[in-house]
Structures are given as structure tokens and as C-alpha cells.
Amino acid sequence: MPCQTPDDFVAATSPGHIMIGGLFAIHEKMLSSEDHPRRPEIQKCVGIEMINNSTLLTGVKLGYEIYDTCTDVTVAMAATLRFLSKFNCSREVVEFQCDYSSYMPRVKAVIGAGYSEITMAVSRMLNLQLMPQVSYESTAETLSDKIRFPSFLRTVPSDFYQTKAMAHLIQKSGWNWIGIITTDDDYGRLALNTFAVQTVTINVCIAFKEVLPAFLSDNTIEVRINQTLEKITAETQVNVIVVFLSQFHVFNLFSKAIERNINKIWIASDNWSTATKITTIPNVKRIGKVVGFTFRRGNMSSFHSFLQNLHMSPSDNNKPLNEYATLLSACAHAKDSDLSQCISNYSWGTWAHKANKDIERNFSLRSDFLWDYTEPGVIHSIQLAVFALGYAIRDLCQARDCQNPGAFLPWELLDVLKNVTFTDGGDSFHFDAYGDLNTGYDVVLWKEINGHMTITKIAQYDLKNELFINTDHQSKNELRNLKQIRSKCSTECSPGQMKKTTKSQHICCYECVNCPENHYSNQTDADYCLLCNNETHWAPIRSTRCFEKEVEYLNWNDSLAILLLALSLLGILFVLAIGIIFTRNLNTPVVKSSGGLIVCYIILFCHFLNFTSTGFFIGEPQNFTCKTRQTLFGVSFTLCISCILTKSLKILLAFSFDPKLQNFLRCLYKPIPIIFICTGIQVAICTLWLIFAAPVVEENVSLPRVIILECEEGSVLAFGTMLGYTAILAFICFIFAFKGRKLPENYNEAKFITFGMLIYFIAWITFIPVYATTFGKYLPAVEIIVILISNYGILCCTFFPKCYVILCKQETNTKSAFLKIIYSYSSHSASSLTISHVSLDSANSNVTATHRSSGGESAARQKSNNLQAQAFAHTCKENPPWVSKALPRKRFSSI
């Protein structure tokens, strides 16, 4: 029946000088035949869930009034109204006052409630008089808000830390695709929101969020539980489910989950992680593994001793204990394994007619049953709440006579309670600025031992350091085994891959793609690939690390470099061989007609330097080699072209029959000044280049896998100017040589010079586009090849024909043979001049045509005789006496 008087509403009471109120959820729900109450009356509580009585306060001169909230906000509010009623007032009314500073309520403080939804409602009422409220189990994060709940304190951590610990466990176990089940109340919604924020920071995704009605009296709860289980069954990839529910909800949820053979990992909140009521569900092992967080345990020896010595007499004003004893007597026939189920099947008052003697006998026989159903974490939190109030009252009563119930007011106790420091089992405790007592968590695992589900502590969670502290080696293995269970939306990406998601997908549902070139990932499920330092490192596709780039250059060991060096050495051998041949045939006409030994030696030395300069293009580049290789080639090649230019001018001068051209060439032909001026200009260009923009060593990092060590020319303009100037000299030389291409065979050096210059132009014209498009370590090889081609071309065309004559046609390398060739060439040239003269003068007179023709022919032949001696003298650098002897006067006079 509903309560008839306020005293009927009290669950347990004990008189004292100072009264403390208590709110405990002893029963799980209200008994009502209607969906919604029609009359404002307090309904009867049904179904014993646990017994938490306040006999722990024995030894402390405190009185208490404990009320059963029945897990119902309305019942708790009714109890709170009685707490706030005026002290020592027969009518038990709550007076309305503008200032409650001097108002003396029925109790000085309240311990409870356990459930956050109830605690928030009670706290808002207690705030009116700033009555201290110390909760032992309410963990909602919002209760830390001292603006909304100024008189609220608790001996447990906030859900902020619990959700953080859960997220940490999930991350450490490698799960990222989970479900969550909560209740539709302040506690459930706040826990859901807080946990969702925590999971976002660690890239864990919530596959589904199921919300159950907060109260079991709700008719839709069965439907919602079935819908939730269907959702769990549908989400096959979700193997981890976080549960923020009350014990009553979990009991119903697991009972139906066992019927559906649902096997998952359940992460339990502190509400039910150590609930014996749930661990004793038949076949509970079939639901899978349960990992839970519970409040840090304390020393339970004193409480255990209290339970062993617990007794009851008919005069005790302790209704929950009386009810427990009655139901226990009714279930005397039940075995230990079935005792819990038997008790839950009976309602209050069904067996009230049992004799007290039977009650005491049966009660004493089953007193250890209470210990099996004790939740150590909750008991420890209640002990801390009592100790906190006891220490605060002790401090407050040091200067006051607390025998007088009006010695202090609730708000005065609140001020002392906020700053009190108390101890339990050698540990010191105090409330933080938010009124919380951050004691940490124990991590527990449900394990089947000898056919019974037991709750085993496997770790502790330190709130300050945010880490799990394993208690022993076996516990470490238990946590490690959790990682073997997979709860992910997608297969994890291996190192060398990264996750790729689309806008329509959840961030935990993704595809794995390989890291592109020059990127890497060295962990599983990488969100992105890391970029290697492109200047010094590289990575292939799907790489797990970066590799150092190899430094490359045209090495001495390179096959192409060896080939080019061999060609350069061969060219040097040719130069030495030609020098020896010319030295041994110093006085022969071929050597003398080549411009003299000194000029030949200079040209050969230039070729030697050109071949040598190729060695500076090979090997590891140094600043010295970078500066030397271009300037050495440029100056030596210019000197070579300058010498060849003077030879072209001399040959053209010697065999030119045009008086005007001869006079011009005589003025222009100054060998030594020409060589010095032409070479000096190139030296000036190279000097300015080295001073203002000298070539330096540079690391070319643009290639993906290698670093090219190369010479940066410093100034493209200077480099181009050097090559362009050399090309201009070569072109002038080509023009002069082309003019003298029809000279006598043994004197026709101009024809070969023309060929040599053509080879030079072809090589360097080809070089420009090839050099501009070539990239890498073989770029210097391109320039080496061009240098070798142009050097070989000029060397072969200049000296090889003469060496051929010296070695293979010695009969033509005589004075008489040379004079004969000159005579033949001069005679042919004279005939050509005569014919030309006749054609020009034939129009003047036909009568004197024969006479003039003869005279013209004689004049032409005379000129030819003079020129042939002059040509030979020029080409041989002397005027030998045998010239006049070689051309008999008789023959010239006859002509």
C-alpha cells in the first residue's frame, strides 16, 4: 500500500544530535497499475536490487534518515521536501523565506542520490538552502558546474574522466568502429555527448547510438530493447559496444541478447560493471566479454566484518533490512546459485507473516549472501562521503556545542566541507574546485571461473597520467588479448598505405591506397602519407620509409666516361705522334709549307690542352674543376683557331692572283698580332666570367631519386659569349679557307681547313639543342663528345693529310715535285688569265688581235712565273736559291 504518513515513507532512521539525510535506490521501480499516475501519491516500491544501509555510521554521533528513491525522481523529490522541512516542527512544512541564512532544516546534509538524473533534481532543491549534498555514484559531467549546482559534491570522478578512460582503452585496443547504448535522461545524454567528443579526438567512430527509455515502467522499453538488439545484429562489423545504462536496463538487455546469441565486447560504465545481479544471469557467458570501469576500491575489511556481525531485531527501524530478511526467509529452500532469482520473484509484504524466529535463523544462515552482492567501489564511495561529512562536522564542532541541534546551519557545513581533508586507509582525500573527488578507476574483466562469472581487476586507470597500470603479468595478457578482437569498419591499411574516404563515408570507413612516390607511411591506418625531404630523400610507391638519394656524377668508373677518356688519350697520342713526325721531317717541303715548326707546335699544344680539358668534366665536381674546364677549353681552342686563321690568310695571300686582294691581305696579314689579339679577347671574356659569375658546384635535387652533383656555369651569358666568340673566329677562318680551296694539291691545306671548320660547326650546332635538353649526370659527357668531335675534326683535317704524304708518298715530298706542281698550277692559271684578257680586248681591233693576244699571253706567263716563286717562298717561309734554278730561263723566254 502507499504510505499513509510521512514516517511510512522513511526506509531507515536512527536518532542523533545531528541528522544526515540519505537517498539510496533500494528498489528498482514503482508499483503502479496505470501508465501515468492520476493522483499525487507516492507509489509503492517493488523488487529488491541491493541493500545499502547506513549502519556504517556506527561510532559517529550522527543520526540519519534514509529514503528509498526507487530509482524515481518523484520519490526522491518527496524525500528532499522532508529534508528541507523546518526542524522540530510538528507540521513538517517547508517555509518560504527570502533569506534562508538562519533557517534550520530537518537535516544538515544529504548523502546521495546514486543516479545522476535523480541527483540533479534533488540538488536544485537543496541549492535553495545551500544544503551540502555528497553523492557516492552520480557521475554526470554537468554536476561539476558550480554555478548550477553550488552545494553539490561527490566522492567519485566525473564522467568526463570515465569516457576518456573508455576512449583510451578503445584506442589502445585498436578499435575504431563501435556502438553505444544509453538511456533517455540527463545522465545518458550527457554521457553520450561527452563520449562522442572523446572519440572524435582519437579517430574512433560511433556506428550507431541507441537510446532506451530511462524508466523501466515505460511500456516501450521492451520494444526499444528488441530494436537495439536488431541493430546490433545488423552491424556485423561492430564488435565493441559501450553501455551507459542502469543495472535494471542491462539485466533486461542481456537477458534478451542471450536468447539471440549475440556475442560482443561490452564496455561497462561504473553503473553496472560490478553488478552481481547481472553476472548471475543464466548463461551470461554467451554474451561475450565484459570490460568495465568501476570506482577505485578501498579497504573493505571493516565492512565485511560489519556484515558478518549483522543482526536484526523486530524493534529495528530498518525497513529494507526487514524486507530482505523476510524475502530471504521465503527463499530458504533455494540453492545459493538460485537465491538471487528467488528473491527477485517476490514482492514486498508477501511473506511478512513469517515468524521472527524463522527470520533470524534464516537470516543468520545466509548473511554471506550480502557480501557476494556488494559492489566494492560503491561501498568505498559511500564510506568516503560519510568520512567527508564526519571530518567536516568534527572541524566545525571544535568551537561549537554540537549537542545542540542548532549549533550550525547547513550552509556553514558546506563551507567547511569544500575545504576538508580526510583520510581512509592511509590515503588522503579532498574535493577539487569542482567538488569532485578524483580517485581514479579500477578496470575489471568478467571471467568464468569454475562455472561462475567472476569480476576480476586487471588494471587501474590513473586520471592524472591518463594511463593504465597493470596489476600483474596475467592482467597484461588479458588486455593484450582484447586487441585480437577486431571492431573496424574497414580493413586496416598496412604501412606504405593511407586511408582514403569520400564525403559520403564515415571517416572510419575508407579504402586503402598506396602512398605515391616520394611519400611514405610507417604505421597502420595512416590518415595521410608523409612527404620525404625532396632535396635529400626519396621513396618509391607504397614505401614505409624514405631513402637517401644517391649522389651521382660522371664517375671515372662509368663505362661512358672510360670510353671518352680513351678517346681523349688516343687524341693525345695522335698529337704526340704528329709532333714526332714533324720534328723528324723538319726540313721537308710538307712541314715547311705547313707554316713552320713553331706554328705547328702551338697548334698541336692547343689540341693537347683540348684533349686534356675533357678530364676536368669527369669525376666529382669541385669548384676548381668547374672553373678550369670551360676556361681551359675556351682559351686553348681559341688559340688553335687563331693559328689556323693566320695559316688561311697566308695561303690565300700566296696563291691569290687578284692584285687588289693581294694588297688587302698583305695589310691584314700580321701573324703574331692576330694570334695575340684573338686569344687575348677570349682570355678577357673568361677572366670577367671567373670574377663576376664563376662556375660553382651545385646539387641538382630536381630528380626524384638521385642528387646530381654538377657544375653550375654561373652565367649563361658568359658561357654563351665564350662559345660564340670561338664560333666567330672559326667562321672567319672558314671563309678564308674556302677562298683558297682550289690551290695545288700539296698546298691545298685550305680545303682541309674548310672541312675541319665544317665539322666544328656541325658538332656545336648539334650541341646546343642536345645540351639544352639533356639532364642528369651525363650532361658533361655531351660537351666532352662535342669537344672531341671538333678537336678530332680539326686535328685530322689539318695534320693527317700531311702525315700521309710524309709517311706514304715520300716521292712527292721533294723540292722538284713541289716545283713541278707549282709550275703546272701557275701555267694553268696563266692560260686562264690570257683567255680572259683576249675576250675582253677582241672588240677593239681584229687586225691587231693576234699581236695583242701574243703579247697578253707573254705578259700573263711572265706574271705566272713571278707568282709561282712568290707563292713557294711564302708557303715555305723562305726564298730558297733553288727556285730560280728549278725554272730555266729558256722555258720562260720561249713561253
What's the CATH code of the domain at 268?
3.40.50.2300
Q: By CB neighbour count within 10 A (0-12 exposed, 13-18 middle, 19+ buried), where does 774 fall?
A: middle
Predicted confidence (pLDDT) at residue 456 exceeds the cutoff of 50: yes
Q: Which three cell numbers stand for residue 387?
A: 568520512
Task: Please report whether residue 133 resides in a domain.
Answer: yes
Q: Would you say 376 and 136 are in contact if contact means Cβ atoms under 8 Å apart?
A: no
Amino acid identity, residue 470? N
- Of 438, 431, 420, 435, which is closest to residue 143 (Cα–Cα)? 435
Residue 68's SS3 state is strand
Q: Give residue 646's pLDDT.
A: 84
Pairs from 592-597 (Cβ < 8 Å, separation ≥ 24)? 592/875, 592/876, 592/877, 592/878, 593/746, 593/747, 593/749, 593/818, 593/875, 593/876, 594/647, 594/749, 594/802, 595/643, 595/646, 595/647, 595/650, 595/877, 596/877
Q: What value does the mean pLDDT take over residues 579-593?
A: 83
Query: Which residues contact residue 555 at a Cβ distance below 8 angstroms, ignoring those fewer than 6 apart?
Result: 561, 618, 619, 620
Q: What value does the mean pLDDT take over residues 412-421?
A: 92
Between 363 and 601, the higher pLDDT residue: 601
> Is residue 413 located within the same domain as residue 478?
no
Q: How far apart are CA 609 and CA 607, in angstroms?
A: 5
> Is residue 746 located within the same domain as residue 766?
yes
Task: Please report whether residue 239 resides in a domain.
Answer: yes
Pairs from 503-512 (Cβ < 8 Å, separation ≥ 24)? 506/205, 506/207, 507/203, 507/205, 508/176, 508/177, 508/203, 508/204, 508/205, 509/177, 509/205
Predicted confidence (pLDDT) at residue 380 exceeds the cutoff of 90: no
Task: Scan for cell 689579339, then name that residue.
Answer: 677
The count of domains in the chain is 4
Between 868 and 530, the higher pLDDT residue: 530
> Is residue 448 located within the same domain as residue 389?
no
> Is residue 142 located within the same domain as residue 74?
yes
> Is residue 410 located within the same domain as residue 523?
no
Q: What value does the mean pLDDT take over residues 733-738?
A: 82
Residue ranges making up the domain that contains 765: 559-809
Q: How far apart are CA 828 and CA 833, in angstroms?
A: 9
Question: Domain holding 637: CATH number?
Answer: 1.20.1070.10
Which residue stretches of 398-472 are H helix?
A: 410-419
Amino acid identity, residue 474? Q
Q: Give residue 494's pLDDT.
A: 92
pTM of the model: 0.59
Q: Which three cell numbers stand for residue 85?
A: 522541512
> Is residue 591 located within the same domain as residue 682?
yes
Q: How far apart are CA 382 and CA 54, in angstroms?
A: 9
Task: Please report whether residue 855 resides in a domain.
Answer: no
Q: What value does the mean pLDDT take over residues 281-300?
A: 87
Q: Would you say 109 and 131 are in contact if contact means Cβ atoms under 8 Å apart?
A: yes
pLDDT grade, residue 121 (50/70/90)? very high
- Domain finish residue from 761, 778, 809: 809
pLDDT grade, residue 842 (50/70/90)? very low
* HSE-CB of 598 using CA atoms within 13 angstroms: 6
Q: Give residue 37's pLDDT.
A: 45
Between 545 and 705, the higher pLDDT residue: 545
Question: How does pLDDT run across 544-564, given as a tens digit for each residue?
Answer: 999 999 898 999 999 999 999
Residue 372's SS3 state is helix
Predicted confidence (pLDDT) at residue 721 exceeds the cutoff of 90: yes
Q: Give residue 178's pLDDT.
A: 93
Q: Give residue 547's pLDDT.
A: 92
Task: Please report whether residue 819 resides in a domain.
Answer: no
> Is residue 153 located within the same domain as residue 164?
no
Q: How far apart are CA 119 and CA 106, in angstroms?
A: 19
pLDDT grade, residue 214 (50/70/90)? confident
C-alpha of 24 from chain center: 52
Q: How far apart are CA 558 and CA 769, in angstroms?
A: 24
Q: How far apart are CA 346 and CA 48, in angstroms?
A: 9
Q: Which of 247-251, 446-450, 785-789 has maximum average pLDDT?
A: 785-789
E-only strand ranges, 128-249: 133-135, 152-154, 177-183, 205-212, 240-244
Q: Give residue 139's pLDDT.
A: 87
- Of 4, 394, 72, 10, which is closest to residue 215 (Cα–Cα)? 72
Question: How does pLDDT run across 93-114, given as a tens digit for each residue?
Answer: 888 888 888 888 989 999 988 8
Q: How far apart are CA 206 and CA 506, in angstroms?
A: 9
Task: Please report whether residue 859 resides in a domain.
Answer: no
Predicted confidence (pLDDT) at residue 840 exceeds the cutoff of 60: no
> Is residue 116 located within the same domain as residue 69?
yes
Residue 291's SS3 state is strand
Q: Which of 192-201, 375-384, 729-738 has maximum average pLDDT?
A: 192-201
Q: Give residue 313's pLDDT.
A: 58
pLDDT grade, residue 7 (50/70/90)? low
Q: Would you say 367 and 309 are in contact if contact means Cβ atoms under 8 Å apart?
A: no
Query: Which residues contact residue 854 at a Cβ distance below 8 angstroms, ignoring those fewer than 6 apart?
Result: none
Q: What value does the mean pLDDT take over residues 438-459?
A: 86
Question: How does pLDDT run across 607-633, given as a tens digit for each residue?
Answer: 999 999 999 999 999 999 999 999 999
> Is residue 316 located within the same domain as residue 288?
no
Residue 585's SS3 state is coil
Task: Please report whether residue 892 resides in a domain.
Answer: no
DSSP type of residue 86: B
Question: How does pLDDT run across 471-528, given as a tens digit for each residue?
Answer: 667 777 777 788 888 888 888 889 999 988 776 567 888 889 999 999 999 998 888 8
Between 379 and 650, the higher pLDDT residue: 379
Q: Which three cell numbers stand for residue 337?
A: 546459485
pLDDT grade, residue 9 (50/70/90)? low
Question: How does pLDDT run across 652-698, given as a tens digit for each residue?
Answer: 666 555 666 667 667 777 888 888 999 999 999 999 999 999 999 99
Task: Please report whether residue 345 resides in a domain.
Answer: no
Q: Give residue 736's pLDDT.
A: 79
Task: Please report whether residue 88 resides in a domain.
Answer: yes
> Is residue 708 located within the same domain as residue 764?
yes
> Is residue 62 located within the same domain as residue 105?
yes
pLDDT grade, residue 849 (50/70/90)? very low
Task: Scan for cell 683558297, then name that residue.
Answer: 740
Q: Give residue 426's pLDDT.
A: 76
Q: Would you say 505 and 488 are in contact if contact means Cβ atoms under 8 Å apart?
A: no
> Is residue 274 located within the same domain as residue 312?
no
